[in-house]
Amino acid sequence: MTQPSATTAARILDGKAIALEIQNEIRDEVAALVEQTGKRPKLAAVLVGDYPASQVYVRNKEMACKRVGMTSELIRLSAATTTEELEQLIERLNTDEETSGILVQLPLPKHIDAQRILDAIDWRKDVDAFHPYNVGLLSQGRPQFLPCTPYGVIQILYRSQIKTAGKKVCIIGRSDIVGKPLASMLVQRSSPIGPDWANATVTLAHSQTPNLAAVTSDADILIAAIGQPEFVKAEMVRPGATVIDVGINRLGERLVGDVDFESVKEVAGAITPVPGGVGPLTVTMLLNNTLIAARLKNGG
Ligand code: GUN
């Protein structure tokens, strides 16, 4: 009889496979919408300047649109673009009949007032869910759009059958893009997937949290979204916990997450890799939001 080993390596949650599964579903829904309305959902992506990571992200978004049968338009602007010029472009896209969703790739050059630009996007086309109206709806538990990365995290958990209801979830990182909206979603009474993927007891930890390791190692589900390479070490993780790594950092030649994958996978029960974890889900949920925006335009 074989003896169980003292430590069993974690189950690797394959974000790429989950993303492809969801993209297949979206592709069918796009085809049905085109059949019904004669109109193809279209994403307009605005890229200002030449920040290298943004070039990659935007290209991935364009390829993903193609895969599900959506149209995309990439609008490239020089780094010298002013806030006023960008605002005028947003206004044109807001009223453009063909455009279902608008995405302004972040970060914007420092001289541009990013908040003013994000506020200028029509909330009905706000596929990132960054507009204050959409943030407010989410906070009240009646979202129109769910922010892409947080919803991607919940989809990974759902499609891996890891429920959040009744669990202690610790999120490290209080950003407006990931930490805050994800906490907001997980504490709700339900989610679009149902009550089993909501109803968590959430701790939102950050750089000023005292004794962080004690807080993180109390969690059943630990989500790292801090933007620091390999920050989460094995000692910070409860044995058997699920660890979701939202980070994408360049460490020399390597792409690494916010979690020290090699050591943490020895204690965790389940873990997402980087790359191939949360990243593919972010793009996929953007496609989902573009489909929702296209339906909104066609009367819901
Ligand atoms: N830059 C990094 N993440 C994101 C995102 O989710 N949306 C946009 N628009 N820009 C980003």
Instruction: Report the 10 Å Cβ neighbour count for 118.
Output: 18
Shared-domain flag, residues 159 and 259: yes
Whether 88 is catalytic is: no
Whether 140 is catalytic is: no
Which residue owns the Cα nearest ligand 1 atom 11?
106
Give a yes or no: residue 297 inside a domain. no
Give a yes or no: residue 268 inside a domain. yes
Give a yes or no: residue 60 inside a domain. yes
pLDDT given at position 5: 52
Shared-domain flag, residues 116 and 161: no
The CATH number that applies at residue 111 is 3.40.50.10860
Give a yes or no: residue 221 inside a domain. yes
Among 86, 91, 93, which Cα is nearest to 109's? 86
Say which amino acid occupies 77.
L
Q: List all residues 6 or more positions away from 87 whose beta carbon is below 8 Å from its beta carbon.
A: 116, 117, 120
Considering its fold, how many domains does the chain have in total? 2
159 with 152: CB under 8 angstroms? no
Shared-domain flag, residues 88 and 161: no
pLDDT given at position 2: 56
pLDDT less than 50: residues of the chain: none
Whether 196 is catalytic is: no
pLDDT given at position 230: 98
pLDDT given at position 299: 73
Give a yes or no: residue 294 inside a domain. no
What's the CA-to-centroid distance between 42 and ligand 1, angstroms?
A: 18
Residue 167 φ then ψ, to 5°:
-95, 155
Residues with CB under 6 A from ligand 1: 103-106, 128, 148-149, 177, 282
Contacts for 113-116: CB closer than 8 Å, 24+ residues apart: 113/83, 116/83, 116/87
The pick from 51, 56, 106 for probing ligand 1's pocket by mutation, whose C-beta has the most ligand atoms within 8 angstroms, reads 106
Domain holding 114, by residue range, is 40-122
Mean pLDDT across the chain: 96
Separation of alpha carbons 170 and 198, rounded Å: 14
Among 37, 6, 9, which Cα is nearest to 265's? 9
Q: Which atom of ligand 1 is nearest to the CA of 103?
A: 9
Name the active-site residue from 128, 245, 258, 260: 128
Shared-domain flag, residues 225 and 156: yes
Say which amino acid occupies 167.
K
Shared-domain flag, residues 158 and 270: yes
pLDDT given at position 4: 52
